[in-house]
Homo-oligomer: A and B are copies of this chain.
Amino acid sequence: MALVVQKYGGTSVGTIEKIRNVARRVARTYDDGNDVIVVVSAMAGETNKLVALADEMCEFPSEREYDVLVSSGEQVSVALLSMCLQSMGYKAKSYLGWQIPIYSDSAFSKARIEEISDTNIREDLRSGTIVVVAGFQGTDRDGNITTFGRGGSDTSAVAVAAALKADVCEILTDVDGVYTTDPRIVPEASKMEKISYDEMLEMASLGSKVLQIRSVEFAKKFGVIVHVRSSLNDNPGTLVMKEDEEMETVLVSGITYNKDEAKISVMRVPDMPGIAAKLFSPLSESNISVDMIIQNVSHEGYTDLTFTVPRTDFKKALKLVEEASAKIGAEGVESNQSIAKISIVGVGMRSHSGIASKMFTTLADEGINIQMISTSEIKVSCVIDDKYTELAVRVLHQAFGLDKVQD
């Protein structure tokens, strides 16, 4: 007998009929002899409807009240799912964040889970009850409702799995698992049987939007095995888990791309202490997140500084940077919105050399110019002209031997 946590997203519980389907799958897992905790999101569209109400009410809604508002969505879905399970003859009980409780900090709308009590849930499981948990929400120590940001139900599920020491946390979603790259671009892309936490972190933050990043961090911290799989069939999906030897033999696990960024370069920046701060402070004050930052060795006291920002913030960022660069006496600002970031990810990189150069060669062979490079322990990213995105992903996928079914 195992303890299984299952998480279903908003589209899986979008209608009464879909909730019935979820209930049937949950019941099947229970009938197989498992203890089951189900974490659900709000019915698809509900959260957006609530957000629209807030927007209609005022321009800058209070964050505390915003969380009170949007957390009501999960309250509806947990109640309905519990009713459904009961009508099928199962014992079931719903829990809101504060009833467990799931304690978080007080950073409304992007709160971090700090502690989960297992007492109440444990007691229910002991009596054979299926526990239905509202995702996305918790409470701070003062009893204020908090929420965990878009995709926060993933983190709820992983955190509950960690607190209850569940055997597995299943994320039931509309994809089969995690793929070596986007199958829409590379039909030969294959579903990975397993992937390490670190690789998943790089994959997720680089554009393979399967899991909320924070949930992966949580899973890594507490060693929770996360099983990303389809809610529509029983095929095994992808296990996100601790790195093992087998993983290290694979040089590159996946290829990701991101076309949502733009590049800004500040030319001939005087290379002296405090300059970078003067350039980037206005951006952070405007809540613009900067991704890659590249500063090369300086020549004659001057250097070039290049970085990427989300395309949606591009205009605003450019204006701020132009002002700042004038103040610090830089020569000028150049920018480019037509870029893409291509990354190769794999824990095998740590113990193998030549991976980066193989990437560069592969791109060069296709005549693709590399505009920026940045590396981490298990990732190499290149910024290229965005018209080459698909080509780059395809040739890299083939070059690193991913064009075949993995087992």
Contact = CB atoms under 8 A, between A and B. Distances in A.
A69 B94 CA distance: 10
A83 B58 contact: yes
A94 B68 CA distance: 8
A211 B93 CA distance: 33
Category for how many chain A residues contact B: 35 or more
Number of copies: 2
Contact of A86 (B53, B65, B145): B65
Contacts of A120: 143
A276 to B, nearest CB: 38
A144 B93 CA distance: 10
Interface string A53-68: 1101111111011101
Interface stretch (A71-79, A280-288, A386-394): A71-79
Interface in A36-68: 50, 53-54, 56-62, 64-66, 68
Contacts of A75: 68-69, 71-72, 75
A16 B72 contact: no
A383 interface: no
A38 to B, nearest CB: 13
A98 interface: yes
A25 to B, nearest CB: 16
Interface in A308-348: none
Given A58-B84, A65-B86, 6 more contacts: A58-B86, A61-B83, A71-B75, A72-B73, A99-B143, A120-B143
10 contacts: A20-B57, A53-B80, A57-B80, A57-B83, A58-B84, A64-B93, A66-B79, A68-B78, A69-B76, A99-B143
